[in-house]
Amino acid sequence: MGFGKLQIFFSRLFVFLIFQFSFPEYKMGQHPCQLKRDYSPTYTKEGDIVIGAFLSLYVKSDYKMVKDSFKYSPAWVMVHSEVMLKHYQHFLTVQFAVDEINKDPHLLPNVTLGYQLLNNFHQSHLAVESSLIWLSRKGPTIPNYSCDRQHKSVIAIGGMSSKLSIAMATLLSVYKVPQLSYGSFDLVLSDEVLYPYVYQLGSRESTLHLAAVQLMLHFGWTWVGLVISDDLTGEQFFRTLKEEMAWNGICLAFTERAPELFQKEHDEFKLLSTILQSSSNVIFIYGNTNSLGEISELLNVYKLHGKMLITTSSWDFSAYFENMILSNFHGTLMFSHLEKEIPGFTDFLRSVHPRVNPEDIFLKSFWEIVFNCRLSEISSVDIVHERCYENKSFADVPPIYLNKIIIGKSSNIYNGVYLFARALHHMLQTEAKDVSELAANPLLSWKLHHFLKCVDPVYGFKDELCGNGTSMTTEAYNILNFKSFPGRFSVEVKVGEVIPQEKVLSINEEDIDWPEDFPQIPTSICSVACSPGYRKQSLEGQPICCFDCTLCPDGKISNKTDAIECMQCPEDQYPSKEKDRCLPKIVTYLAYEETLGMILASAALCFSILTTFVLGVFVMHRDTPIVKANNCSLSYILLISLTLCFLSSLLFIGRPTPAICILRQTTFAIVFTVAIASILAKTITVVLAFRATKPGSKLRRWLGTSVSYFLIFICTLIQMCLCGIWLGTYPPFLEMDIYSEFSSIVIQCNESSLVTFYCVLGYMGFLALVSFTLAFLARNLPDTFNEAKYLTFSMLVFCSVWISFLPAYQSTKGKTMVAMEIFSILVSSAGILTCIFAPKCYVILLCSDRNTLKITKNKADH
């Protein structure tokens, strides 16, 4: 006996012993070793090789599992006949695929495939029972024994859910029977140690999380709730989705895990309350068939007001339509793998009719329920007495009961049949044996495994697939919109497509029907988006999607929604009032055209003209006593210097140039030094004049004009030296001041060295202080035309102006600083002009009778 036959012997012995200990009343010798059944939910089409299809039609209520469960047929009163009726397409797909293969002269020539259809009512224990019936082949169900010596059944297609697949695998794996699971891909079933003979036909959803995030980004849903099945697949999806969402700035509002069966009402209430109390308007639901079925029943009773559902085609809630309120699911978006339409299925449906296949109990049951009639005296629809019309066909079946296009799990079944056919085809070519001889070989199922791993159901034999299983990864998804209409009519409309790896999403929003609570595209955000001009400020202990909006600080902007940080404007630009964009700064300076520049220039010209007029008056009246008594030559120098002082202020107005920057401060300093030196000379002359009246005084020789000229020259020369040092070391230069004014770039002159600049001003202040001191001491000298008091006031005004200028100059910038210096020049010059020459002009022009030598002498005698 070979090793393979020994394995079969011991495996069958193992199953037999289990059954004997579990059911002692059926021990050999007391009863025939068989499980007597009055009801056998199966339909078989004979062939050289038979495919076992374990499918789910209707739902049978769960009940406590006891050992007597194998004695009796399932009670019809416990079967929901309309629930999952839509899955009858799975039965039709097996029949269609087998018929296609039998008609194909190139695939399995001289071999006829058959099938055996079994219904497990979506129950795990019935799936095991159906597996046992299938293993026993024809005749009575005898554990660990097959009455069919031909061994035509070598492969099983079954397991709409991973729970059903696992239940079947516990029995089928004992005999190494290849099992093609047509449900959604499950990580648990991918364990080759626990389930080495299970081949998943469903596509691995390795990129579904990328597709989901692409959809969320498209509609701006950044605050999303997640409901997953409480299993390994759900946890794996949760981890990948959470990571991708965090990478794209999307947050999970909550995560709830749905069990395959709600044990308590507390679990249902907890799930519903979490969803309804969440501020998220978009809920993504992902899981296996069982847990999604539980959620379907829950949401059929409680509608989620104000919530938008997103799920996958694994949740075919339209199949659970017994008393289902499908409007509760209206507007749901679903992801579905891209699938090609399989031609010929519609034509196949036209050929299927109960009168053609009278032994097909599934077709009979489906037909009577859909058309609400009876085909025979014994009917599945006992309350209906009307006979079915002969002219009815599948073309009259509404879409809610049957899809006319092979999609979803039906597509997996279709691929599974072809996978087996191609694997068998290559095995026959390799073995080069007659099919009848091969079918009788008990090791046929074992040999199929190698070929199942090396065959693609669409393209045929591929060596590179060997050892990698048959799971196929789809690189793109359809986006479907579930639409429910009155009269229990619903449809799934394709509204878009997404290719996750390439981040390509195309969607037609006009074709989408949103849930009734949303008149337009729903929003789902934790915090209102920050408009341009604001930045997001994270809240402590909250996800990144929950934030406050803070206005950008001065000098910064944000030009996009939900900016994380504000940007600094370039140096030649400034923020707008709304702080949402940068505006180009205008180049500005104290121009003649603007109001301030025009006023200052006009004042300078007016004062210079006035000073020239005073000079003209003094020249015209140079022979009068009042002019002679006040040293006319010094008065001329003072008036000319004052005129130049007024005109020097014009150098500060207009667009500055490098030459003007060098000239204007030095010109102002030298001209003002001449004016102050002239006043100092006049003050010294007045003091010396009264001191020299004493007999024998030696001060008379200092009263000459040459001494005054020399004093003015020396004082001016010192200032010129200071200016020369300034220009020779750190001369003023032209600069673009981008900081002084908010929205402007000020073209101005930079004094470069403030030390030398203040030295120049300080020197003028020193001369003014000396003049003020001497004039103040001589203010009460007895003389009619004594101008000491006028000199005192003029220097007092001058010093006051320039002392006030220093702090003001330091606190202002840009054009204001230039205007402040011009103002100081004009005010100080005008103060000197007014205090010294206004009284004299008054006497000369209006009181000429006082401008006589007689009055001067009388006043002196007195």
Distance CA 714, CA 676 (A): 12
Query: Which has the minimum average pLDDT: 553-557, 769-773, 780-784?
Result: 780-784
> Does 298 score more than 70 pLDDT?
yes
Check residue 101 and give its pLDDT: 93
> Does 442 score more than 70 pLDDT?
no
Distance CA 191, CA 196 (A): 7
Distance CA 19, CA 135 (A): 14
Q: How many CA atoms lie within 13 A of 377 on its CB side?
A: 0
Q: Which helix (H) or strand (E) holds 490?
A: strand 489-499
Residue environment code for 523-552, b if the CB has 16+ CB neighbours within 10 A, otherwise e: bbbbbeebebbbbbeeeeeebebbbebeeb
Percent of the chain with pLDDT over 70: 79
Check residue 781 and give its pLDDT: 61
> Does 82 score more than 70 pLDDT?
no
Non-local CB neighbours of 44 within 8 Å, separated by 6+ positions = 50, 114, 115, 116, 117
Residue environment code for 68-80, b if the CB has 16+ CB neighbours within 10 A, otherwise e: eebeeebeeeebb
Cβ proximity of 199 and 186 under 8 Å:
no
DSSP 852: S
Q: What average pLDDT does the segment 30-55 reach?
A: 70
Check residue 281 and give its pLDDT: 93
Cβ proximity of 224 and 216 under 8 Å:
yes
- Highest mean pLDDT of the ranges 281-285, 790-794, 847-851: 281-285
> Does 786 score more than 60 pLDDT?
no
Q: For residue range 409-441, what is the model confidence (pLDDT) as tens digits?
A: 888 899 999 999 998 888 888 776 655 555 555
Q: What average pLDDT does the segment 646-654 reach?
A: 91
- Alpha carbon dihedral 671, 677, 679, 680, in 10-degree steps, equals 160
Q: What average pLDDT does the segment 374-384 reach?
A: 63
Residue pointed to by tokens 């499918």: 55
Check residue 18 and give its pLDDT: 40
Average pLDDT of the chain to the nearest whole number: 80
Check residue 40 and give its pLDDT: 54
Split at pLDDT 50, 70, 90, the class of 6 is very low
Check residue 722 and give its pLDDT: 92
Give the distance from CA 19 to its chain's centroid. Answer: 60
Q: How far is CA 464 from CA 141, 468, 471, 763, in A?
A: 41, 8, 14, 97
Q: Exposed, middle or buried: residue 37 (CB in 10 Å: 0-12, 13-18, 19+)? A: middle
Split at pLDDT 50, 70, 90, the class of 377 is low
Check residue 779 and give its pLDDT: 65
Distance CA 631, CA 639 (A): 12
> Does 687 score more than 80 pLDDT?
no
Non-local CB neighbours of 445 within 8 Å, separated by 6+ positions = 154, 155, 175, 176, 177, 178
> Does 241 score more than 90 pLDDT?
yes
DSSP 3-state of 537: strand
Check residue 27 and give its pLDDT: 40
Neighbours of 46 (CB within 10 A): 10
Q: What average pLDDT does the segment 611-622 reach?
A: 88
Check residue 4 and give its pLDDT: 46
Neighbours of 265 (CB within 10 A): 8
Q: What average pLDDT does the segment 698-703 reach?
A: 54
Residue environment code for 297-324, b if the CB has 16+ CB neighbours within 10 A, otherwise e: bbbbeebbeebbbbbbbbbbbbbbbeeb
Q: What average pLDDT does the segment 299-306 reach?
A: 84
Neighbours of 373 (CB within 10 A): 17
State the DSSP string of 284-313: EEE--HHHHHHHHHHHHHS--TT-EEEEET
> Does 307 score more than 80 pLDDT?
yes
Q: What average pLDDT does the segment 769-787 reach?
A: 70
> Does 630 score more than 80 pLDDT?
no
Distance CA 422, CA 452 (A): 8
Query: Which has the minimum average pLDDT: 221-235, 654-668, 718-732, 786-800?
Result: 786-800
Check residue 406 and give its pLDDT: 83
> Does 464 score more than 70 pLDDT?
no
Split at pLDDT 50, 70, 90, the class of 23 is very low
SS3 readout for 448-468? HHHHHHCEECCCEECHHHCCC
Split at pLDDT 50, 70, 90, the class of 643 is very high
Q: What average pLDDT does the segment 159-165 reach?
A: 85
Check residue 695 and give its pLDDT: 53
Check residue 291 and give its pLDDT: 75
Split at pLDDT 50, 70, 90, the class of 465 is very low
> Does 857 score more than 80 pLDDT?
no
Distance CA 117, CA 45 (A): 9
The predicted model scores a pTM of 0.66
Q: What average pLDDT does the segment 220-247 reach?
A: 91
Structure tokens at 448: 């199929």
Q: What average pLDDT does the segment 532-559 reach?
A: 89
DSSP 61: P
Query: Which has the minimum average pLDDT: 260-264, 564-568, 631-635?
Result: 260-264
> Does 318 score more than 80 pLDDT?
no
Distance CA 274, CA 253 (A): 10
Q: For residue range 500-518, what is the model confidence (pLDDT) as tens digits?
A: 888 899 999 999 999 988 9
> Does 558 score more than 70 pLDDT?
yes
Distance CA 198, CA 148 (A): 24
Percent of the chain with pLDDT over 90: 25
Query: Which has the minimum average pLDDT: 68-82, 341-355, 734-748, 791-805?
Result: 68-82
Q: How far is CA 465 from CA 107, 468, 841, in A?
A: 20, 5, 116
